[in-house]
Amino acid sequence: MLKLFKDFAKGLWKENPVFVMLLGMCPVLAVTNTATTGLFMGVATSFVLIGAGIVNSLLKNLIPAEVRIPSFIVIIATFVTIVDYTSRAFFPDIAASLALFIPLIIVNCLILGRSESFASKMPVSRAIADAVGMGVGFTWALTFLGAIREILGFGTLFRGTEFTLQVMGEWFEPLSIMTLPPGAFLTLGVVIGVFRAVENKSLSLTRLFGNSSLNTAKEEKSI
């Protein structure tokens, strides 16, 4: 159980696919102009990640090494097709805005990378835990970036849905650059910088308190 929790938790922060591993940068930069599209792309990618992880783990002993990567791609493409047709049927407006990017989930290095490095080497339970953790980490990262860009670029949150919130008042002058590609690079760079600063501060505090505890233990032992 502890291993499953560690497999799940690492994708949320320590090995976050966006802010730490810098994987899947195409959708990160291209579809995060609103929180809605960021959330939708994250959920779609998570579905493919989990489905492919399960199947690749189940078939890991049946797929010949010579055709391992092509087989993974076919499996991933199957789940992407499911996502593509489902999104068109139930979420046509969002699917239309992401029409070019949902099929590109097939070549998302996050999915193929986790299938190759983890799912194909681990039992199904651990493959699921890893896929869910990475999927949740990817989803919250895209939604967070999309929320920042949407608030600064439109003054709203979850634009284009029935849950749209007007965050900024009439006084707010939208920053149109945040809805354009340069805004994606600027936002991602700032967030990664803050993410790394928090991580470094956390490591420093851990070392500080760890050394303090070690010194205290040594003093008690000497007494």
Spell out the domain ranges in the chain.
Answer: 2-222
Alpha carbon distance 32, 71 (integer Å): 30
In b/e form, how buried is each residue of 55-92, taking b as 16+ CB within 10 angstroms? Answer: bbbeebeebeeeebeebbbebbbebbeebbeebeeebe
* Torsion of the alpha carbons at 183, 109, 111 and 24, rounded to the nearest 10: -10
Alpha carbon distance 213, 80 (integer Å): 50
Other Cβ atoms closer than 10 A to 178:
19
**Contact of 95 with 88, CB cutoff 8 Å:** yes
| pTM of the predicted model as reported, rounded to 2 decimal places | 0.88
Residues 11-48: tens digit of each pLDDT = 998 899 999 999 889 889 999 999 999 999 999 999 99
pLDDT of residue 53: 94
Which residue's structure tokens are 């890893």? 130
Spell out the long-range contacts of 157-160 with Cβ–Cβ below 8 A and sequence spacing 24 or more.
157/35, 158/34, 158/35, 158/36, 158/39, 159/34, 159/35, 159/36, 160/34, 160/36, 160/93, 160/94, 160/97
pLDDT of residue 206: 75
**Contact of 147 with 181, CB cutoff 8 Å:** no
Residue 2 has pLDDT above 60, yes or no: yes
Residues 180-221: tens digit of each pLDDT = 989 999 999 999 999 888 888 877 777 777 655 545 545 555
Alpha carbon distance 32, 41 (integer Å): 9
Phi, psi at 70, each rounded to 5°: -60, -35
Nearest to 147 by CA among 191, 88, 103, 115: 191
Which residue's structure tokens are 């490095």? 117
Alpha carbon distance 157, 162 (integer Å): 11
Residues 139-192: tens digit of each pLDDT = 999 999 999 999 999 999 998 888 899 999 889 999 999 999 899 999 999 999
Residues 111-143: tens digit of each pLDDT = 999 998 999 999 999 999 999 999 999 999 999
pLDDT of residue 212: 57
